Amino acid sequence: MELCSTSLTGEQIKNRIYNGRMHLLRKCNSRIRSNQQLLIECRRYPFINQVLELSKLAVPLTDEEKTDAIDAILASGVYERVKEEEQPQATSFSYIDQLVIELLKWFKEEFFVWVNKLGCSHCGNEDQNQIRHMAGCRPYKEEHYRGKASVIERYQCLKCQKIYEFPRYNDIRTLLLTRKGRCGEWNNCFIAILRSLDIDVRYIWNAEDHVWCEYYSEKQKRWIHLDACENAYDQPLLYNTGWGKKMSYVFAVKESYIVDVTDRYLDPKKPEAKLPKNKAPEQYLQAMLTLSNSIKLTSASREIALTDTSRLIGDFRNTAGGYKEMATDSTTKSMKPRQSGGATWTKQRGEAGKK
C-alpha cells in the first residue's frame, strides 16, 4: 500500500521538530534579552556568573586525548571482564551499561590513585603524620603549563626535610599518565575515558565542593549517576544518605547547556540535608541559564541540538522523582560514608556519615 502524498518522511519529521524547538529557544532568547532590567539585576550576583562559567568544564576531547584514553582502556582488560561477567540483570542493562560498571570498578580499584598528602618523592615517606602541608603557589614551570595545572601544592617531608610539589593538573593526557589526584582529577579523567567511547556524559558540579558525572543510558532512557571516587553507580542519594552531606546547588554541565539537577540528589526524607538556595534569586539564575542554553543549543549541530533537547525534556519530566524512585529503603541503608579521602579531612567536610 502506497503512502499518501501528505505523509512525512523521518527526515522531514526531524526537521519539523528541530525547527520548532529552535524557534522556541530563539523566542526565549529574545524575550530575556529585551528585559534590560533583568540583565542589569543579574550582574549584581557573582554566583550567576560562576555557574555560567561551569561550561568551561565540558570541553570536547582532542584526537590525541581520545587515542590515549582508548589505549588505557584497551590495556585494562575491561572488555574481557564484561564478556566473562555474569549479568543476571542483563534484561535491564545493555552492553554499554555493563561496560560502564566495569570501567568504574577498574578506574577506582586499579587505575587512579587518591592523594591526601602526596608522599615524599625524595625518601619515599608515605606517613601522613610526617608530611607537612605548606603554602602553595601558582604554576611556574613549562610542565605545569603543559599539564594545565590550576595550583601547585607544596609539602615538606618531616623525615628528610625535603620540600616537594604536587601540581593539580587538569590536562587529560597528563592525568592519564600521572593517574592521581582528588575528586577534580578523578572526575576529569573518568569523563574522558567515557567520552573516548562516544558515551554521552555530563559533568556534575556541587556548590559544596564535590564533583561527579552522569552518563545517558540508551537502554534505561535516563541519566545515571556515577562517582569514580567511590565506585558508585546509580546512587544519587549517596551524598545525603551515605555521607550525611548537606547540599544547596547541583548542576549538570554539557557543551550545549547547564541545567539544575539539585532535586534528584536530595533525599526527600531528609529535609535537614537541603541547604537554602540563597546565592542568587532563583528567577534570575534560571533566566540567565535559559539565555545561555538557548544560545548554545541554537548554535549546535542539528543532531546535537535534537539529542540534547530531547534529553533535557526527559530531565524536566524526571527531576521530581525519576532518580529518587531508584533508591529504595534497602539501597539507601547500604550507602556508606565517604570512602575517598582521609578520615580527619572527611569529618571536617561533614561527609563521614552519621553514627
* Catalytic site positions: 183, 210, 227
Phi, psi of 320 (to 5 degrees): -75, -15
How many secondary structure helices (H) and strands (E) does the chain include? 13, 11
Helix 183-195 to helix 95-106 angle, to the nearest 10 degrees? 150
Q: Which residues contact 93 (CB under 8 A, 6 or more apart)?
A: 87, 101, 219, 220
Residue 204 contacts residue 212 (beta carbons within 8 Å):
yes
How far apart, in whole angstroms, are the C-alpha atoms of residue 241 and residue 252?
20
Q: Are 226 and 213 in contact (CB under 8 A)?
A: yes
Across 268-291, b (16+ Cβ under 10 Å) vs e yields: eeeeebbeeeebbeeebbebbbbb
CA distances (Å), 276 to each of 54, 161, 210, 262, 279, in order?
20, 45, 17, 11, 9
Residue 197: strand, helix, or coil:
coil
With cell 534579552, the residue in question is 33
Residue 167 φ/ψ, nearest 5 degrees? -70, 135
Please count the residues of the chain. Answer: 355
CA distances to 128, 165, 338 from 133, in Å:
10, 10, 22
Cell 613549562 found at: 142
What does the DSSP 8-state code read for residue 311?
A: H
